[in-house]
Amino acid sequence: MGRLKVNTREGDLSDVGYDFLCENKPNSRRNKKLLVEQIRKLRKIGDLPPVYPNGWFALAESPDIKVSQVKYVAALGEHFAIFRTKDGDINVLDAYCPHLGANMAIGGIVHGNCLECPFHGWKFSGDDGKCVDIPYTSSKVPPSAKVRKWLSKEVNNFIFIWYHAENEEPAWHIQHIPEIQSGKWWYRGRNEFIINSHIQEIPENGADVAHLNAIHAPSLLGGYDIRNYNKKWLGFCKHRWSAKWAACQEPDSRHIGVMKLLHEMYLFNKFTVITMDVTATQIGPSYVELLIKTTFGPMMVLQTVTPIEPMLQRVIHRVYSPPLLSPYATLLLYGETVMVARDVMVWNHKEYIRRPLLVKEDQTIQLHRRWYNQFYSENSPKFSFQKDNMEW
């Protein structure tokens, strides 16, 4: 079935969908990353939309940044220094010091609400990014001594920043989920995937209703490898899916799309053993809240998609449930991981087709693309293929 990372803090591009590269090749597993790099270079990319849409993006999970700790994150074509003050507040600054270019997130020291560069000790305020102290000079700090301060928000155990190609202020915000904020629902685990695709491919999956009963119908016991997961011996257990997707029409909610999904697992084509009613709320270009209602009670899965680079996405799912549903939530996390991995195997190899050949049952795909287009603007970065830079 391959190696999947459930309830871990790791991800690897070569985990999902590349096992065929090593089949019948002695010692090839030692060189798997090299083989993946080669196939990435050969892959047909397609006519891509802009690579970084406008919106809120998760740079880290709250447990990643402890009090007085700083972390470096590269995403969205930018370089961030994320640090938590002694009061517990999060600040996000550009990582590189304007003095001589040191990365302040690598060895930088948090002093109160300031981040100190490890190279020469310049201190930058987390409030506005201005340099407030140069320890070895008696001169006044130059007004130009500053770094960019990014608008950030810590919500639902993620640390988000607002990214906009035109530097516009946020038109909407991600809201706290009361059950998570109050501790009524407990954190039950996570998974993480590093995916070789354009960011739009991932949320578009929610509007692609037809794929559900094609790729996700076979039993979980078949694993994620779509080449052999539909074996006859697995036919005793299948999944049935029905779904609808629509964009919200209210003026203040046009950044929201909603998928209603009914999932049933049944045995021998007649006995239904599990039913789940799912509402997947896409909020902006990169964040989804999945409310899952089961016979035993509700659970929540949060999904974030963060562009590490134009064709490389970090996707994280965090699962929450009431305490009594903890065993069921653990099973849900396993099943969700396998099902997502089936999609990942497709995403890692597919071409983006700007004008796809569709039938009438595929109309929600075009509706989703028109809806998603609102997150691009005139200066949204475009993809420029540089073969030598595709190494990782």
Three-state secondary structure call for residue 73? strand
CB-CB contact of 239 with 274 (8 Å): no
Tens digits of per-residue pLDDT, 298-339? Answer: 999 999 999 999 999 999 999 999 999 999 999 999 999 999
Taking residues 37-63, report their average pLDDT. Answer: 92
The count of other CB atoms within 10 Å of the CB of residue 346 is: 15
Query: Radius of gyration of the chain from Cα atoms?
Result: 23
Beta bridge partners of residue 138, listed in sequence order: none
Euclidean distance between CA atoms 46 and 198, whole angstroms: 10
Phi, psi at 258, each rounded to 5°? -130, 130
Three-state secondary structure call for residue 92? strand
Give the chain's count of helices (H) and strands (E). Answer: 6, 18
Tens digits of per-residue pLDDT, 248-305? Answer: 999 999 999 999 999 998 888 777 878 899 999 999 999 999 999 998 899 999 999 9
pLDDT of residue 15: 79
Closest Cα partner for 317 from 343, 297, 354? 343
pLDDT of residue 2: 43
CB-CB contact of 91 with 80 (8 Å): no
Domains and CATH numbers, the chain: 19-44+178-375 (3.90.380.10), 55-163 (2.102.10.10)
For 24, left (φ over 0), alpha (ψ -120 to 50), or beta? Answer: left
Task: Show the tokens assigned to 289.
Answer: 């809240």
pLDDT of residue 1: 38
Q: What is the pTM of this model?
A: 0.92
8-state DSSP, 66: -
Beta bridge partners of residue 289, listed in sequence order: 281, 302
Amino acid (one-letter) located at 75: A
Which has the minimum average pLDDT: 46-60, 66-80, 216-230, 237-251?
216-230
Euclidean distance between CA atoms 390 and 38, whole angstroms: 9
Euclidean distance between CA atoms 209 and 206, whole angstroms: 7
Beta bridge partners of residue 281, listed in sequence order: 258, 289
Euclidean distance between CA atoms 174 and 156, whole angstroms: 9
CB-CB contact of 177 with 290 (8 Å): no
Euclidean distance between CA atoms 336 and 135, whole angstroms: 52
Which has the minimum average pLDDT: 3-7, 21-25, 234-238?
3-7
| Helix, strand, coil content of the chain in percent (nearest 5) | 25, 35, 45
Three-state secondary structure call for residue 267? strand
pLDDT of residue 385: 58
Tens digits of per-residue pLDDT, 225-243? Answer: 888 766 766 778 888 999 9
